[in-house]
Chains A and B, each alone.
Chain A
Amino acid sequence: MEGMLIRKVLLLLLMLVLLSGCSNHGIRIHNDSADASKAEEILKKDQRLTSAVILFHEKDLLVGIDVDTFSRFHKKKIEKEIKKKLEKSYPDLTVTVSADRKMTIVLDKLIRKNEKDMGKKIDQLKSLLKEET
């Protein structure tokens, strides 16, 4: 009896894992100040990224990236490289790049809801990313 139950639960979990592979890919952009095409180009060229979110807000450029499994070991390095490239093409914006999952979650939420107090939320996110354990 016990074995049957465990087997059923395992089958269910296996199906969940297989199905969860079908998540969104590609680059999502929200833009209300600058020209986004250059940023899109830079992110598209990088083979190590699976998806990205770009958000322009006043003087801020926030980029959340998802790197593929084995590039996760070089997450910090990839962040730095992309930040450098973006700062070159957008010299008058403050650029924040993060491969942290929190970044993509919050940016997607901001884009979806299109809130008014976006600046406040962005400042909060920036301070969160600086936190250490």
Chain B
Amino acid sequence: MNENKYAKLEQQTSPKTPYLRNIVTAFITGGTICLIGQFVSLFYMTYFDFTERTSSNPTVATLIFIAMLLTGFGQYKKIGQFGGAGSAVPITGFGNAVVSAAIEHRSEGYVLGVGSNMFKLAGSVILFGVFSAFVVALIKTILVKFGVISW
């Protein structure tokens, strides 16, 4: 059996990826998380002294806190199974990656276990997050210079 033949066979036997379904569930899950975030943000604006600009920080902290609790109680993986990328892309997915890694390496001690393994998954998120923030800022600077949008 050569390589091509094997690839063909593998394609025939493995189940088809339901792309459309995955996209729809990811859209709905990510949208729901962002909707909750919007409500949290509105809550901070209505009852505390935060404006639209400053309420983003406590909102992010609250969402990460909720994701942390859900991860600890084992509920976030169910959301992840249903939503896929929709649950991984928002900030809650980042929180989940940090906390689940910390839980996993708890038995190896606090310094060499939790401390060194906590950002195993989240490290790449930080790296590419910083990089993509740089790219987006670059694009926005150019657009502002051309007068398409304002700051």
Mark A residues whose CB is within 8 Å of B.
2, 6, 10, 13, 17, 73-77, 100-103, 105, 124, 128-129, 131-133
Contacts and interface: CB of A to CB of B under 8 A. Distances in A.
Given A10-B28, A73-B150, A105 B35 contact: no
Contacts, number: 42
A13 B149 CA distance: 33
Contact of A133 (B45, B57, B150): B57
B45 A77 contact: no
Interface stretch (B6-14, B47-55, B97-105, B108-116): B47-55
A103 B45 CA distance: 10
A101 to B, nearest CB: 5
Given A75-B150, A76-B151, A101-B42, A131 B32 contact: no
B49 A105 contact: no
B53 A132 contact: yes
Contacts of A6: 82
Contacts of B78: 2
B22 interface: no
Interface string B18-46: 00000000001000100100000010011
A105 B41 CA distance: 13
B24 to A, nearest CB: 11
Interface of B: 28, 32, 35, 42, 45-46, 49-54, 56-57, 78, 82, 149-151
A115 to B, nearest CB: 16
Nearest to A109: B46
A98 B52 CA distance: 11
A132 B42 CA distance: 18
Given A6-B82, A13-B35, A131-B54, A105 B149 contact: no
A112 to B, nearest CB: 13
A101 B50 CA distance: 10
A100 B52 contact: yes
Contact of B49 (A74, A103, A128): A128
Contact of B45 (A2, A105, A124, A129): A105
Contacts of B54: 131-133
Contacts of B45: 101-102, 105
A13 B82 CA distance: 16
A128 B150 contact: no
B53 A101 contact: no
